[in-house]
Amino acid sequence: MAEKTKEGARAEVGDFQRSIGELREEVGKVIVGNREIIDGVLTCMLAGSHALLEGVPGLGKTMLVRTVAEALELQFSRIQFTPDMMPADIIGTTLIEEGAGGQRNFSFRKGPLFANIVLADEVNRATPKTQSALLEAMQEHRVTIARQSHTLEQPFFVLATQNPLESEGTYPLPEAQLDRFFFKLHVAFPGREELNAILERTTGAETPTVQPVLNRARILEMQRLVREVPASKHVQDYVVRLLQATHPTVDDSSGTVKRFVKFGASPRGAQALLLASKIRALFEGRFAPSIDDVKASALPALRHRVLLNFEGEAEGIKTDEVLQEILKQLPESTK
């Protein structure tokens, strides 16, 4: 963006804002409230990454993902995770088919993972073996079967929902898989006004319909614009210092981190923080991210990447509480 004229950059940011506004408006026809969650899902999409939505059953997590998919002119598939699901049910399998003349050939039958938007519904109800089938696809956007790699069409992003681990019949997601989610978003219980609005929309004679407003080419263009947004050195350094502050082995980390944290966030956490800050700046029509953008993105970007130790879990410490304390204590500048 630095090489472009100021007028050209302003026009691109304006177009970006309009596209996001149209998308929010279309999603808002079905989804009541949850602006922060909707923006979080859109942020993951624009970063070319994946979102994990956590909440108790019945809060509309699946409906939100389906609505976003309907507002985008992309190929969509849904995978309902169950304890008896196998990896081949997700990525596909190689079959032996008999052709003309009795010749037998191997052919690959694609699984539901081969789509632009994949809804992984109740992902933590599957066993860790099945969950691990998503790892290569989420990181490298390809799958390997029988030593042959199959590339997934861009854009590709997984929108996964999970029930809290206290729910019956759930398995914890592997740490390596959690780290591949750009954001972990907590879906809260709606308030009184939102509940009334939900009842009005879902119990009446008319059902809201959603029309696609963004196509594949436009989404890829918006993703490219995100990467072109410049970040100043002091903002990038704040991201690095914030990431380091989550590690108990760093000398100047807080007493809370040293006492309750087992492992801090990975470098993917810093990448997510900076990209999310750029996207938040574009949402608001700005040309560059600020430290406030980083702070606003810290909880969803890091809460699933900071692992508490046994003492932290026994004391009932929440990862969000640890991150909020770090944000309060970390100076914005080292000067």
Output the DSSP codes for 254-289. Answer: -HHHHHHEEE---HHHHHHHHHHHHHHHHHTT-SS-
Q: Write out pLDDT tens, residues 272-306.
A: 999 999 999 999 988 899 999 999 999 999 999 99
In angstroms, rounded to a whole number, what is the distance separating the alpha carbons of residues 186 and 129? 25
pLDDT of residue 168: 58
Q: Say if residue 96's pLDDT is above 90.
A: no
> Where do the domains of the chain lie, and which CATH numbers do they carry?
1-228 (3.40.50.300), 231-335 (1.10.8.80)
**What beta strand segments (E) does the chain contain?**
51-54, 72-73, 76-80, 92-98, 104-110, 117-121, 142-145, 148-151, 157-162, 183-186, 214-215, 261-263, 307-308
Cβ distance 151 to 141 under 8 Å? yes
Radius of gyration of the chain (CA): 21
Is the pTM above the cut of 0.95? Answer: no
Higher pLDDT, 98 or 90: 90
pLDDT of residue 4: 62
Mean of the pLDDT values across residues 296-321? 91
Residue 272 contacts by C-beta under 8 Å, 6 or more apart in sequence? 47, 49, 182, 183, 297, 301, 302
pLDDT of residue 234: 93
pLDDT of residue 76: 87
Of the pLDDT bands very low, low, confident and very high (cuts 50, 70, 90), residue 190 is confident
pLDDT of residue 47: 93
Closest CA to 139 of 186, 182, 110: 182
Q: Is 316 exposed, middle or buried (0-12, 13-18, 19+ CB in 10 A)?
A: exposed
* Total count of residues recorded for the chain: 335
Mean of the pLDDT values across residues 164-174? 67
Q: Write out pLDDT tens, residues 105-131.
A: 777 788 888 888 888 888 888 887 787
Q: How far apart are the first and last CA of the chain?
A: 28
Helices (H), 158-232: 175-178, 192-202, 216-228
Q: Say if residue 313's pLDDT is above 80.
A: yes
pLDDT of residue 130: 81
Greatest alpha-carbon span in the chain: 78
